[in-house]
């Protein structure tokens, strides 16, 4: 729920393009809090729109961008990263001065570039990344409680309209999220380390288990450590590809730490191994302390 001192943004009519897990969760939260006069779901798959409407995430669904964006104050794009260019091009003919556009994409530099290439006035686009999700997918997995208490990264460009940025930040704050403003480049570098690389590591751990065996004795520790490997593969492939440069940097850093571990074991250097374990424990404990 939003904090009591959070000003309620005057949003009006909202279009959500893509009513999967995050898009439907945004719709559910908007409607529960009464922040939008009407929520329109936009998509190509009728069954998904029907399901989202039945769950109460949207007031109506359509595949007609012109109808969805007319008299609309805010458009939230919640589609796979590979679809952003296509969506921005579909929005462009129906863009108008009263429309502010944001997204929920997991990478930001590529999204800002796609907006700049397609929109007649990209100053009214504000990047967003609500750091909330699940290995589950589709509107059936959506929840109005998915967003509150989580961080939401907001990214702007030098030419971003300040009123647009204020409305988008007000939206996420009203939905109970903690706003963090940063550049698209910083976002992509940091999320590579704390989100995209952990997913890749979970995938590789499953591959190692498949190679070396151990399924019969695997239990809760392995299940929890590899949870992200059950995430939507096409979506994750889009994220890793879109964030290629930052991921390569993160992979190199990870490889360096693996080499550190291997060296300690190869040399039977207990002190070196203990330093690695203690250092990691301290970093994680310090991070957890900030969450209390």
Q: What is the pLDDT of residues 197-241, one digit of tens each?
A: 999 999 999 999 999 999 999 999 999 999 999 988 998 999 999
3-state secondary structure (DSSP) of residue 7: coil
Confidence of residue 3 (pLDDT cuts 50, 70, 90): very low
Please report which helix (H) or strand (E) contains residue 39, including its range: strand 36-42
Residue 77 has pLDDT above 80, yes or no: yes
CATH fold label, 12-182: Rossmann fold (3.40.50)
Residue 116 has pLDDT above 50, yes or no: yes
What is the DSSP code string of 111-156? HHHHHHHH-S-GGGEEEEEE----S--SGGG--TTSSTTSEEEEE-
187-290 belongs to which CATH class?
mainly alpha
Decide: 211 and 218 in contact? Cβ < 8 Å: no
Confidence (pLDDT) at 133: 75
Confidence of residue 137 (pLDDT cuts 50, 70, 90): confident
Residue whose structure tokens are 């404990």: 285
Chain centroid offset of residue 194 CA: 12
Confidence (pLDDT) at 232: 86
What b/e string do you get for 17-41 counting C-beta neighbours within 10 Å, with b at 16 or more?
bbbbbbbbbbbbbbbeeebbeebbb
Confidence (pLDDT) at 2: 41
- Weakest-pLDDT range from 116-125, 201-210, 225-234, 247-256: 225-234
- The DSSP secondary-structure symbol of 177 reads P
289 phi and psi angles, rounded to 5 deg: -65, -30
CA dihedral 265, 267, 270, 276 (to 10 degrees): -60
- pTM for this entry: 0.88
Residue spans per domain, the chain: 12-182, 187-290
Confidence (pLDDT) at 1: 39
Closest C-alpha to 225, from 204, 200, 202: 202
Confidence (pLDDT) at 289: 94
Q: How many CA atoms lie less than 13 Å away from 217 in the CB half-sphere?
A: 4
pLDDT, tens digit, 9 for 90 and up, residues 79-112? 999 999 999 999 999 999 999 999 999 999 999 9
Confidence (pLDDT) at 7: 60
pLDDT, tens digit, 9 for 90 and up, residues 6-56? 567 778 899 999 999 999 999 999 999 999 999 999 998 899 999 999 999
């Amino acid at each position: 729920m939003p904090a009591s001192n959070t000003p309620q943004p005057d949003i009006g009519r909202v279009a959500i393009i893509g009513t999967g897990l995050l898009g439907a969760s945004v719709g559910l939260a908007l409607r529960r809090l009464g922040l939008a006069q009407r929520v329109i779901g936009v998509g190509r798959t009728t069954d998904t729109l029907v399901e989202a409407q039945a769950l109460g995430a949207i007031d109506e669904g359509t595949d007609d961008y012109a109808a969805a964006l007319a008299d609309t104050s805010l458009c939230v794009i919640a589609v796979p990263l590979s679809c952003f260019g296509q969506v921005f091009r579909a929005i462009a003919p129906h863009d108008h001065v009263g429309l502010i556009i944001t997204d929920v994409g997991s990478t930001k530099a590529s999204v800002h570039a796609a907006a700049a290439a397609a929109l007649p006035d990209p100053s009214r686009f504000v990047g967003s990344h609500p750091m909330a999700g699940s290995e589950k997918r589709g509107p059936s997995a959506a929840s109005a409680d998915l967003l509150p208490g989580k961080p939401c990264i907001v990214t702007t460009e030098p030419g971003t309209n300040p009123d647009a940025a204020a409305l988008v930040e007000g939206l996420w704050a009203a939905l109970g999220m903690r706003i963090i403003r940063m550049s698209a480049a910083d976002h992509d570098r940091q999320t590579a380390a704390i989100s995209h690389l952990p997913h890749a590591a979970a995938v590789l751990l499953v591959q190692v288990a498949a190679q070396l065996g151990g399924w019969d004795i695997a239990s809760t520790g392995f299940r929890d450590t590899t949870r992200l490997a059950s995430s939507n593969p096409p979506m994750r492939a889009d994220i890793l590809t879109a964030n290629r440069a930052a991921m390569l940097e993160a992979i190199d850093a990870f490889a360096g730490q693996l080499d550190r571990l291997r060296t300690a074991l190869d040399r039977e250097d207990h002190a070196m191994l203990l330093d690695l374990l203690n250092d990691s424990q301290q970093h994680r404990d310090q991070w957890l302390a900030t969450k209390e």
